Amino acid sequence: MIPPVKTILYTTALGSHTRPVFRFTVGLAKQLGARIVLLHVVEPLSNSVRFLIDSYLKPDAARELHRQASEGILEKIHKRMEAFCEEELGTTLQETEVIGEVRVVSGMACEVILFEADRVNADLIIIGTHTGSGKRADLLGSTSRRVTLTSKRPVLLVPVTDTDDTEWAKPLI
């Protein structure tokens, strides 16, 4: 017997294939009577970028810039994700029953995804994969690969290619 799916953690990089994977996730959640926790992970600045900032600014100014950049980016992405959901669903997040929470978190993608899956007690993790249409279409992204290899929860990978012509993958025009 398949255990019930009541909470889906849908993680997105907000790339060009966000819409079809989001639509798939919403459709699945509606069929299962589940709620979606929408997650976007903002990875920290690389060491080389931090070094450059620290090289050109005084220590206090560099720390303040790091803090402001981190807080501002998270807030802007959160608002963008809310607007995206409202556009796709045709209603506000408060009025929809399918989206339970929108999260934007800073950290290493795989670690944050697994932590958030535990935090919300997700029954399923959904990740979109952009497989492309070239010769290397069989390779997964590094985050998708790490999550599938280390998760103790079921992970559903939703492949989307540039040539995908399935109805659920068509962009809104």
What pLDDT score does 42 carry?
Answer: 86
Residue 6 burial (CB < 10 Å; 0-12/13-18/19+)?
middle
89 domain residue, yes or no = yes
pLDDT in 10s for each residue of the chain, 173 residues: 788 999 999 999 887 778 899 999 999 999 999 999 999 998 766 667 666 667 777 778 767 766 666 667 888 889 999 999 999 999 888 888 899 999 998 888 999 999 999 999 999 999 988 655 555 545 567 888 899 999 999 999 998 766 544 554 444 32
| pTM for the structure as a whole | 0.79
Cβ–Cβ under 8 Å, residues 31 and 58? no
CATH code, 117: 3.40.50.620
Using CA atoms, how far residue 112 sits from 9, 127, 134, in Å, is 12, 13, 30
Within a domain: 79: yes
Q: How many domains does the chain have?
A: 1
DSSP notation for 65-129: HHHHHHHHHHHHHHHHHHHHHHHHHTS-TTT-SSEEEEEEEES-HHHHHHHHHHHTT-SEEEEEE
Question: Which residue range is the domain that position 106 belongs to?
Answer: 7-130+146-169
Task: With respect to residue 107, please indicate whether it lies within any of the assigned structural domains.
Answer: yes
